[in-house]
Amino acid sequence: MKALVIIPTYNEKDNIRAILDAVLKQAADLDVLIVDDGSPDGTGDIVEELRKTNPRINLFRRPGKLGLGTAYIAGFKWGLAHPYDYFIEMDADFSHDPNEIPNLLRAIEANDLVIGSRYKDGIRVVNWPLSRLILSKGAALYVRLISGLPVADPTGGFKCFRREVLEAIALDSVKSNGYAFQVEMTYKAWMQGFRIQEIPITFADRYAGQSKMSGGIVREALWIVWMLTRSHGYRRRPAVKRSPSS
C-alpha cells in the first residue's frame, strides 16, 4: 500500500529541506508532493533541485498564493492520477511531527479517515498563546454544536485519507479555502458514512517562518459550518456506513 504526503508551501525555505528529509525517513513506500504557491523566497526552486536526485519528491507549482484548500485539492487530484492508496495532509513547519506518520498509517488500516488530534483525551499544544488556544478550542466546540460532527479537533490539518474517500467526495464542490477546508472535508466524509478515527498528537507552533493565519480565514470558518449543515438538511447523523476496501 503506497502513501503520498501532500505539503502545501508558501515561503518555507527555512523548513523545506528538513521537513522533506524527516518525512521520507518514515517509510520506504512513502512519497511527498510539495504544492508550492509561487513562493517568492525560492521554496519551489529548492524542491526542484532536490527532486532531481530523489524520485520520491514531487513538485506541483502554482502561479501565486491561492490558498490552503485549493492547494490540497490540487494535490489530491495529482495523487489520484497516480497509484496511491493513502493521502496524508501535513504542514511544512514541523507543527505536525513527521514521526507521527507511521501512527496515521497504522490507524488507517482499519479506518477511512484518520485525524491527528490536538484535543483527543486532553490538550496537546506547545508554544501557543492562551488567546489562540481559546480561539481554536472555541472553534472546535462551535463546529460540533452546529454540525453534530463527532470530532474533538475538526480544524486539525494532520490527516490521512483512504483513496476511496477522496474519490467519493466531489472535490470541485469543496467551497472553503482556509482552515475551514479541514472542517468541510471531514464533514463530507462523515456524512457519507466513512469511518473516522482520531489519534492524539502533540502540536508544536512553528519554529521558523511566518504564520498564515488571518482574520479572513477565521470568518470563513464561521460561515462554512452553517453552509454545510444547511446543505445536508441540518442532519446530525451520518449516512449509511460504507465498508472500507481491504
Q: Bigger pLDDT: 103 or 146?
A: 103
> What percent of the chain has pLDDT above 90?
65
Give the separation between CA 112 and CA 164, rounded to whole angstroms. 8
Q: What was the pLDDT predicted at 220?
A: 67
Q: What confidence score (pLDDT) does residue 213 get?
A: 46
On the question of pLDDT at 80 being above 80, the answer is yes
Query: Tell me, what's the pLDDT at 136?
Result: 80
On whether the pTM is more than 0.85, the answer is yes
* Residue 206 predicted with pLDDT over 80: no
Share of the chain above pLDDT 70, in %: 87
Query: Which of 44-53, 134-143, 181-190, 231-240 shows the lowest mean pLDDT across its residues?
Result: 231-240
pLDDT of residue 137: 81
Is the predicted pLDDT of residue 68 greater than 80, yes or no? yes
214: confidence class by pLDDT, cuts 50, 70, 90: very low
Q: What is the DSSP string of the chain?
A: --EEEEEEESS-TTTHHHHHHHHHTS-TTEEEEEEE---TTSHHHHHHHHHTT-TTEEEEE-SS---HHHHHHHHHHHHHTTT-SEEEE--SSSSS-GGGHHHHHHHHTT-SEEEEESSTTS--EES--HHHHHHHHHHHHHHHHHH----S-TT---EEEEHHHHHHS-GGG----STHHHHHHHHHHHHTT--EEEEE--EE--SSS-----HHHHHHHHHHHHHHHHHTTT--S--SPPPPP-
| Residue 6 φ then ψ, to 5° | -105, 125
Higher model confidence: residue 211 or residue 96?
A: 96
Mean of pLDDT values over 104-116: 97
Residue 208 has pLDDT above 50, yes or no: no
Residue 97: predicted pLDDT: 95
pLDDT at 218: 60
145 — pLDDT class (breaks 50, 70, 90): confident
List pLDDT tens digits, range 19-55.
Answer: 999 999 999 999 999 999 999 999 999 999 999 999 9
Mean pLDDT, the chain, rounded, equals 88
pLDDT at 122: 80
Residue 124, all three cell numbers: 496537546
